[in-house]
Structure 1
Amino acid sequence: MMLEALTVDIGGHALVLSAARAAFDPVRQTLFIADAHIGKDAVFRARGIPVPEGSTGETLARLDMLISIHRPATIVFLGDLLHARESHALTTLGALAEWRERHAGLRLILVEGNHDRHAGGPPDALALEMVEAPYRFGPWALCHYPQRVTGAYALAGHEHPVYRVATRLDSARLPCFRFGADAGVLPAFGGFTGGFEVNESARGERIFVVAGDRVMAVRT
């Protein structure tokens, strides 16, 4: 599957928006991933909700694809890497450990999110650097909760933004990137997540939707 990417100017800096629902800084060779929610399917099953397995594998496979395309030196997770304590199930941790072994040379940074606090610390085998928001990284202030940071462009997650597009006959809610003058929000990376519709709250912002394997500007 060929995934489209779109390079945009955000606060005077290039950012590559991927249809895999991630952003890449080509100058700093860094991938930004928001809200992976790894292990959410295991959490639901542990709580008696019969959902199918596979979301963790699908999420990690998309990470593999992004790494092969962009060859990053660093991945920054903008919070909510793990979904809850039940994400520490052996099958989930085993999949994470195998993924980390394949990418042992990558620097991994986690900006702590609300689900990370509930889930407990990530496994030591991931060799993650834990940081607090706002984490200054080049021109960016990296956060979990959307916010403004003086002297930097803030990139965040948490919101799981989606944008409703409609015709006279039908409509669809699509994951989206939203960018204001000094702060932006990335779509949720995890495949098993809901979404918050931003058509009204993002008025005046630039919106880029993910439609299958394409990234498209719907409001610039």
Structure 2
Amino acid sequence: MNHLIEIAGEQLLMLPQKALYWPRESMLIIADIHFGKAASFRALGVPVPAGTTSANLAALDDLIARLPVRQVMFLGDFLHARAARAPATLAAMQAWRARHPDLLLTLVRGNHDAHAGDPPPQLAMAMVDEPHVIGPFAFCHHPDVMVPSYVLAGHVHPVYRLRSGWDSLLLPCFLVGPERMVLPSFGAFTGGHPVLAQPGERVFVSSGEAVLEIPRSSLG
């Protein structure tokens, strides 16, 4: 179940699939997909599972099928590292792009993009630096960019620890403050960083099926 929120006078949908949707612009907003991260680790001899690129692309396909998406905004860290440019990874990405030739793709460069380099030209992505301002929003990778617009960013991979007695569970979350929203990492095999809400911030966790707000009284 999606969660509708009004930010800077615009309606946005927080999606259980760890993405954001801006209906007025038919824009899907994705943070930290980290294509090729598993391939980068395998190149270093670390035995991690294959298939994360396929999982990321399938997750994108699912959202594009569910929503009227005209454009996708990637908030940085599209490729994990130069080692992510494995032939199989690039071929899968190019095949995905060929299935969606009319989509407008934009990448706001993040810290990993600075090392990995821009995506191959065959992906036909517009490359921009932060802050990239459209309407009331500044699309950024880093949340601490100081601009007058409302910041939509990634980088942190926020997760929130839910506790019940002795049990606890880490869930990806949207961290929403008066001047910025930090999106969860969209990519498979990207991990997360536990966050604590600061005064004025709201936390919305994703169970994979629904987005739910953590009551302020439970945030501590």
TM-score past 0.5 threshold: yes
AA matched with 1:126? L
Instruction: Say whether the 8 Å CA contact 1:177–1:185 is kept in structure 2.
Output: yes
* Percent of aligned pairs with the same amino acid: 47
AA matched with 2:175? R
Counterpart check, 1:119 vs 2:116? yes
Kindly state the Cα deviation for residue 149 of structure 1 after the two structures are TM-superposed.
4.1
AA matched with 1:151? P
State the 4+ residue runs in structure 1 displaced beyond 4 angstroms: none
Question: What does residue 49 of structure 2 align with?
Answer: 52
Question: What does residue 28 of structure 2 align with?
Answer: 31
**SS of the counterpart of 1:213?**
coil
Once the two structures are overlaid, the 10-residue window that deviates more, 178-187 or 5-14, is 5-14
Structure 2: where are the runs of 5+ without partners?
none
AA matched with 1:216? L
Question: What does residue 107 of structure 1 align with?
Answer: 104
- Aligned-partner Cα distance in 2 for 1:217–1:160: 17
Counterpart check, 1:215 vs 2:215? no
Question: What does residue 184 of structure 1 align with?
Answer: 181
Kindly state the Cα deviation for residue 219 of structure 1 after the two structures are TM-superposed.
3.7
Instruction: Say whether the 8 Å CA contact 1:141–1:149 is kept in structure 2.
Output: no
Counterpart check, 1:142 vs 2:149? no
**SS of the counterpart of 2:55?**
helix
Instruction: Say whether the 8 Å CA contact 1:7–1:17 is kept in structure 2.
Output: yes
Counterpart check, 1:5 vs 2:36? no
> Of residues 169, 172, 190 in structure 1, which corresponds to 2:169?
172
Instruction: Say whether the 8 Å CA contact 1:11–1:181 is kept in structure 2.
Output: no
Question: What does residue 16 of structure 2 align with?
Answer: 19
- Aligned-partner Cα distance in 2 for 1:150–1:89: 37
Question: What does residue 154 of structure 2 align with?
Answer: 157
**TM-score relative to the length of structure 2:** 0.95
Deviations 1:9-49 (A, max 9, x none): 12221110111100000011101100000111100100100
Instruction: Say whether the 8 Å CA contact 2:131–2:145 is kept in structure 1.
Output: no
Kindly state the Cα deviation for residue 151 of structure 1 after the two structures are TM-superposed.
3.1
Alignment of 1:200-211 (within 5 A): 201-211=197-207
> Of residues 112, 126, 129 in structure 2, which corresponds to 1:129?
126
Deviations 1:131-182 (A, max 9, x none): 0100001211000000254431100000000111100130011100011101
Over aligned residue pairs, what C-alpha RMSD do you find? 1.2
Corresponding pairs, count = 216
**SS of the counterpart of 1:27?**
helix
Instruction: Say whether the 8 Å CA contact 1:148–1:183 is kept in structure 2.
Output: no
Question: What does residue 73 of structure 1 align with?
Answer: 70
Question: What does residue 84 of structure 2 align with?
Answer: 87
**SS of the counterpart of 1:65?**
helix
**TM-score relative to the length of structure 1:** 0.95
- Aligned-partner Cα distance in 2 for 1:161–1:95: 28
